[in-house]
Amino acid sequence: MKFHKTNIGGCFVVEPEILEDNRGKFFRSFCEDEFREITNEQIRFVQMNHSVNHKKGTFRGMHFQEPPYSEGKLIKCVRGSVLDTFLDIRKGSPTFLEYEQIELSEENKKMIYLCKGIAHGFLTLEDNTDLLYHHTEFYNKHADNGIRYDDPVVEISLPVIPSIISNKDQNYSLLTHDFKGI
């Protein structure tokens, strides 16, 4: 696997090294030793989620869990494509409230590893798009939180206004300039 640093420390684009022959393709999605070498920490995934999205223009996010249940995530698009967005909300981080975006797709096979303290969301670019998430912490409904994609404090740019978004994701409270992070 190849790891590419992002501008947000602790987050990496992960590209698999694909072996191809007359049978098809083979590649690794995760190797504990390689992740430990690049992140300098033991990565242990405890939960895997599958996100199924029927329509282009669906937006999910910007999700995170409050401490002490903050989670790292490894995200892979297994069908279709998304514009993946990740936002640094770590208290004291040099990139606090900065975000990055990357296209993840079935075709490019790229993944994104997000460290703890990062809010995450995505916009589907095709109908019938599926993502797999590996989480380092179990879901805790009391720690579940999010930031609106259209929050004026963050000003996330999307190529289109989402056509499908949950009530929950639309109704997160707006950030104030007093927000210091998690």
| Catalytically annotated residues | 63, 133
Cα 54 to Cα 57: distance, rounded to the nearest angstrom: 10
Q: CA 96, CA 108: separation in Å to the nearest integer?
A: 29
Residue labelled with tokens 């029927």: 54
C-beta pairs of 21-26 under 8 Å, 24+ apart in sequence:
none
Residue 136 β-bridge partners: none
